[in-house]
Amino acid sequence: MSLLLSSHAALAERLGLDSNSELLALALTHSSYAAEHAVESNERLEFLGDAVVDLAVADLIVRDFPQQNEGASSVMRSRVVNESSLASVASRLGLGDHLRFGRGAIKERGRERPSILADAFEAVVAAIYLERGYDVAREFVQRTLAPEIAAASTLQSTLDPKTRLVQWAEQQGLSAPHYELRAEGPLHDTHFEATVSVGALRVTGSGPSKKRAESDAAQRAWQERQNA
């Protein structure tokens, strides 16, 4: 077995596909190669894979982040499913080394172009979906995108308390949080108290400024929301 065929077989094994999979070969066929050799390109598989990747990531977000509303979930998905993220995954899998290109695309360093790598990843996902079914394709997407999902979830958790409380209120079908402010002390040393009301919650926080007091109140309300 040649080094190239051995390498291709190793890739197929990592993807959970047979080394002689026709769908895998198609998924790795760029349009430039298809045009030069009068064969089908991976574009149709890319179209299908795009939908499978979207569904697999949305599936994980709904399951693992039930506290998020639709808006926050959409933002998180967009941070995971984008050209940059999918190209990074394709690079980790080594897909660029296995893509079949036409001569012009090779000269233009097609193996390094993020758009081509992202498309290849989606095409490979479609090949897995068609050969192994949705459950296997979903597990593959969620596993290979795990670093991107973790990074996106960290960004979500760093939302400021007021924004996070607004999103929770929307998710629960509640009116937007309402803040009441009170200032105490002399002008040079004013202390603020903020009381936030949202649904059945009414929580007071404090701070050296209006913004800090409202943020503290929102953080306390977020922590007590399960008891509301």
Active site residues: 50, 122
With b for 16 or more beta-carbon neighbours within 10 A and e for fewer, the 75-102 pattern comes to ebbebbbeeebbbbbbbebebbebbbbb
Q: Determine the Cα–Cα distance for residues 228 and 224; give it in Å rounded to an integer.
A: 7
Nearest to 84 by CA among 115, 63, 42, 60: 115
Q: Determine the Cα–Cα distance for residues 194 and 188; give it in Å rounded to an integer.
A: 19
β-strand partners of 180: 195
Q: How many CB atoms lie under 10 A from the CB of residue 32? A: 20
* Owner of token pair 């198609």: 26
